[in-house]
A and B are shown apart, each in its own frame.
Chain A
């Protein structure tokens, strides 16, 4: 299976004479940096989904909003597709270029325009890195809550486009819950303000619609985010289990008891061993599963919650419970989890990260299903799990140089996502659909729902020039993919009984 744009399935794209377009655009915007020589385009061939590469027709690196506006007007007038890109850290190929399109790189918009500690807001350009916002707000005792694991590199514009999450979502929400206002440019160059510095705005909630729309509806040129006061105290508990089902039950009991942890993460034995080998976090390598539970807030509340959670974990059958004794140990506990992906990267030539979400009660069944699929495809799977909010990151281990393994990994990944949909979950919790999960969209949504998505798109970009081929599959693609098509009404999933 290829992730390349396929005009037969994804719809025809306009063809242009590249040299003529470069000349026209150069004349129109002489101070816009435009890359078009093959060797200059190489660094932009892929985003974080690096197994798939397409050389863009050209790359534009604007520095001023007026340049973006003029470029979009040009693209509209000349009917040229445009793919926006932030820092290029996305994991679903959302910024994968098109051979027939302009790649619009927003990374140079990297200025923090204003931090207002009184209002608790920061106004930033889209290329500002996620972590840079929290660093700039730190002197005021404030921070920006969503913390995707790529936060050191990923940009806020991309966070808006993907509705990025992180390990603190259950308590602090996703990007959509932490932004107040975005300035966007539509494909015809119109500047729109969505949201405001107040808590709501008149009209339809276009801010919610644009968040997570994967660059398909408009280009983000400015973002105003909400800043929170840093919690006084944070403690992390590390609990070991001899059975992954017991760890899942413990999560339900913590939440059922009215505790909302700042972070609640689970790792299975394979991930524990990989992480421990890499980071020496002090993880118990014999455990079948560990839970990392972070409690944050006022000091006295955190103490109260630690006692409560400790007792619940013991009742749930934890074989060992440790509380990080100081900040260094807390950082170490987290370092194991935060480096789980590269740690797995050390034990396998390649890995493929999935992003399905499930209702937590289905955890044991889904993990069993994944184990069976793993055996069926002959590929190991390490499980890392945002346990609090049901977001799974199974990592499929494979070797891209071994004939057929990449295809097998993709096929196994597709089966895992379909399993998530079958138990009432979603194919993507935070990484986005992009190009990677375009076929699985046909499993999650029926043709009428996909048709409605295309109608939403048409309200903003009727000529489908913005990021064509991403996020929403054509009905033609779904028909081709039809053998795996599951309609909501047609559940249960035919294979579900096996798990």
Chain B
């Protein structure tokens, strides 16, 4: 059964608003459900609301591709895929019911399956975008392989609307795994990372691995045989599969800690030096959530010396949300912004002060 959802092409209004802003040099604050508005720097601009531009443009499960307008709620897209036995493997967090597909791609956040499945940008195949020239253009497409021209659509993933307004995205989707089991084991963090490393070498079908409060939570997905034998090998107690949604949506008790929330993205085998606060390890070690009152510079230094970076998920007056860029890299970011958004109307300052 295919569900019916609201569908409306509101692109003409969006293009007209961008063109007006270009004419009057008025900055725009692009919004979908505003579920990730807390992330990044505040944008002072006229609101451009993508939510009216919504609906599934095309979906053929046997092609493994879905195309949705930017304002389509993520929840609707997920329900549609679920009905067809498919999913967005990168599990973008929604942070509420209002999240839109455009916002999920523009913020580029991925859920617990990311180390094994790939990130949101890995699943982007194509997009339509309103540019800094007020044009409504199309890049990439609905095919798995496409190397014609520069990869504009993947560049836009995670660009927080600073390079243009996404109006439509085509995403690769995959079948849901045939079998799924979740387990929990009482282990300390160092033991947990050692076990995960051994399981990786043994090619166990792990698709989620989170350590918090002395417990390792593991998700196994694959064929019935491989999952059953991995369950036998790992042992531990059964875990409600709802855990992974609570983790993705930051609803676990860990996230109630009143201190600021930091995300450290580091190589998965980064040693566990004492971080200044409470730590939740996700992505089998590659993503570490930190609740801390320590100065931003201290936290950033720790992440950077491990070869990673730190993002502050709690709006703080004392800190930039995103990790500072090396000077040469920042120069090319500015040049890119200048080329694609010469009048600086798209979410100015959302990522960095002068972007």
Interface residues of A (CB under 8 A from B): 116-120, 141, 162-163, 165, 169-170, 173-174, 176-177, 186, 190-193, 196-206, 208-209, 211-213, 216-217, 229-232, 252-253, 255-256, 258-260, 297-301, 303-305, 357-361, 386, 388-391, 424-433, 437, 441, 444-446, 448-453, 455-460, 471-472, 488
What residues of chain B lie closer than 8 Å to A202, measured between beta carbons? 309, 311, 322-325
- Given A173-B118, A176-B151, are A429 and B145 also a contact pair (CB < 8 Å)? yes
Residue-wise interface mask of B (328-349) relative to A, using a CB-CB cutoff of 8 A (1 in contact, 0 not): 1111110110111000000000
- Taken together as a complex, chains A and B put the C-alpha atoms of A189 and B224 apart, in Å, by 53
Chain B positions within 8 Å of A205 at CB level: 108, 121, 154-155, 157-159
A208 touches B155 (CB 8 A): yes
Nearest-Cβ distance from residue B39 to partner chain A, whole angstroms: 13
The one of A258, A389, A432, A433 that contacts B176, using a Cβ cutoff of 8 Å = A258
Q: Which residues of A are found within 8 Å of B330, using beta-carbon distances?
A: 203
CB nearest to B266 among chain A residues? A198
Chain A residue contacts of B139, Cβ below 8 A = 449
Q: Which residues of A contact B311 (CB under 8 A)?
A: 202
Does B279 interact with chain A (Cβ within 8 Å)? no
A165 to chain B: closest residue by CB: B145
Within B298-355, the residues touching A (CB, 8 Å) are 307-309, 311, 322-326, 328-333, 335-336, 338-340, 351-352
Contacts of A456 in B (CB 8 A): 150, 152, 336, 339-340
- B146 A297 Cβ-Cβ under 8 A: no
A81 to B105, CA, bound (A): 37
21 contacts between A and B (CB under 8 A): A119-B269, A170-B144, A176-B154, A186-B332, A196-B265, A198-B266, A198-B307, A199-B114, A200-B108, A204-B333, A208-B151, A208-B154, A255-B62, A298-B223, A298-B226, A301-B224, A357-B143, A360-B62, A441-B149, A456-B339, A459-B332
Task: Return chain B residues, CB-CB under 8 Å to A429.
Answer: 143-147
A259-B175, A260-B174, A455-B340 known, 4 other contacts, Cβ within 8 Å: A117-B201, A120-B200, A204-B162, A208-B157
Say yes or no for B44: interface residue by CB 8 A criterion: no
Top-10 shortest CB links A-B: A300-B225, A301-B223, A298-B226, A258-B175, A429-B145, A208-B154, A389-B144, A198-B308, A426-B146, A252-B62
In the complex formed, the residue of B with least CB distance to A423 is B143
**The one of A300, A358, A360, A446 that contacts B226, using a Cβ cutoff of 8 Å:** A300
Interface 9-mer from B2-10, B18-26, B130-138, B181-189: B130-138
Q: Is the CB of B141 within 8 A of A426?
A: yes
Contact A298:B205 (CB < 8 A) given known A357-B143, A459-B335 = yes
How far, in Å, is A263 (CB) from chain B's closest CB? Answer: 13
Expressed in whole angstroms, the minimum distance between the Cβ of B179 and any Cβ of chain A is: 9
CA of A488 to CA of B224 in the docked complex: distance in angstroms?
45
What is the CA–CA distance of A230 and B142 in the complex, to the nearest angstrom?
30
Q: Is the Cβ of B138 less than 8 Å from the Cβ of A427? A: no
A241 to B222: give the CA distance in the assembly, Å: 30
Question: Which residues from chain A contact B63 at a C-beta distance below 8 Å?
Answer: 359-361, 390
Judge whether B163 is part of the interface by a CB distance below 8 angstroms: yes
Q: Across the interface, which residues of A come within 8 angstroms of B309, CB to CB?
A: 196, 198, 201-202
**Within 8 Å of chain A (Cβ to Cβ): is B267?**
yes
B158 neighbours in A (Cβ, 8 Å) = 200, 204-205
Decide: B332 and A460 in contact? CB cutoff 8 A. yes
Which residue on A lies nearest to B311, using beta carbons? A202
Q: Shortest CB–CB separation between residue A302 and chain B, in angstroms?
A: 8
Give the residue name and chain of the A residue nearest to B114 (CB).
Answer: A199
List chain A residues, Cβ under 8 A from B60.
359, 361
Q: Contact check, A437 vs B148: say whether CB atoms are below 8 A apart.
A: yes
Judge whether A260 and B175 touch: CB under 8 Å: yes
CA distance A357 to B175 in the complex (A): 22
Expressed in whole angstroms, the Cα–Cα distance for A48 and B63 within the complex equals 31
Closest to B263 in A: A200
Per the bound structure, the CA–CA distance linking A208 and B137 in Å amounts to 19
Cα separation A171 to B9 with both chains bound (whole Å): 33
Query: CB-CB < 8 A to B267: which residues of A?
Result: 119, 197-198
Chain A, residue nearest B140 (CB): A426
| A184 CB to nearest B CB, Å | 10
Q: Is B283 an interface residue (CB 8 A)?
A: yes
Which of B137, B143, B286, B335 meets A425, CB within 8 Å? B143
Closest Cβ of chain B to A490, distance in Å, is 13
The reply to whether B138 and A449 form a contact with Cβ atoms under 8 Å apart is: yes
How many angstroms between the C-alpha atoms of A207 and B182 in the bound complex? Answer: 34
Q: With A169-B145, A359-B142, A455-B339 known to touch, is A119 a contact of B268 (CB < 8 Å)?
A: yes
Q: How far is the CB of B241 from chain A (nearest CB, A)?
A: 18
Cβ contact within 8 Å between B141 and A425: yes
Task: Kindly state the separation between the CA atoms of A393 and B45 in the bound complex, as whole angstroms.
Answer: 49
Contacts of B174 in A (CB 8 A): 260
B122: CB under 8 A from chain A? yes
Shortest B216–chain A CB gap in Å is: 18
Whole-angstrom distance from the CB of B156 to the nearest CB of chain A? 8
- Is residue B119 within 8 Å, beta carbon to beta carbon, of the partner chain? yes
* B178 A361 Cβ-Cβ under 8 A: no
Judge whether A452 and B147 touch: CB under 8 Å: no
CA distance A221 to B175 in the complex (A): 38
Query: Do B222 and A256 have beta carbons less than 8 Å apart?
Result: no
Instruction: Compute how far the CA of A281 lies from the CA of B114 in the bound complex, rounded to whole angstroms.
Output: 39
Q: How close is A491's CB to chain B, nearest CB, in angstroms?
A: 11
Min Cβ gap B264→A in Å is 9
CA A76 to CA B149, docked complex, whole Å: 24
Give chain A residues whose Cβ lies under 8 Å from the Cβ of B269.
116, 118-119
Interface membership of B197, Cβ < 8 A:
yes
Given A196-B308, A303-B225, A425-B141: A173 and B147 interface contact (C-beta under 8 Å): no
Report the separation of the CA atoms of residues A429 and B149 in the bound assembly, to the nearest whole angstrom: 11
> In the assembled complex, how far is the CB of residue B351 from the closest CB belonging to chain A, in whole angstroms?
7
Nearest to B155 among chain A residues (CB) is A209
Provide the residues of chain A in CB contact with B352, threshold 8 Å.
203
- Indicate if the CB atoms of A258 and B138 lie closer than 8 Å: no
Residue of A nearest to B335 (CB): A459
| Chain A: minimal CB distance from B353 (Å) | 13
**By the criterion CB–CB under 8 Å, are A229 and B150 in contact?**
no
Question: Which B residues are in CB contact (< 8 Å) with A428?
Answer: 146-148
Contact of B133 among A117, A165, A448 (CB under 8 A): A448
Residues of A within 8 A of B335 (CB): 458-460
What residue of chain A has the Cβ atom nearest to residue B175's Cβ?
A: A258
Asked whether B15 is an interface residue with its Cβ less than 8 Å from the other chain, the reply is: no
Collect the chain A residues with CB atoms within 8 Å of residue B351's CB. Answer: 203
B131 contacts A452, C-beta separation under 8 Å: yes
- Are A229 and B149 neighbours in the complex by a CB distance under 8 Å? no
Smallest CB separation, B283 vs chain A (Å): 7
For the complex, what is the distance from the CA of A426 to the CA of B140, rounded to whole Å? Answer: 8
| B226 touching A301, Cβ below 8 Å | yes
- Is the pair A359, B133 in contact by a Cβ cutoff of 8 Å? no
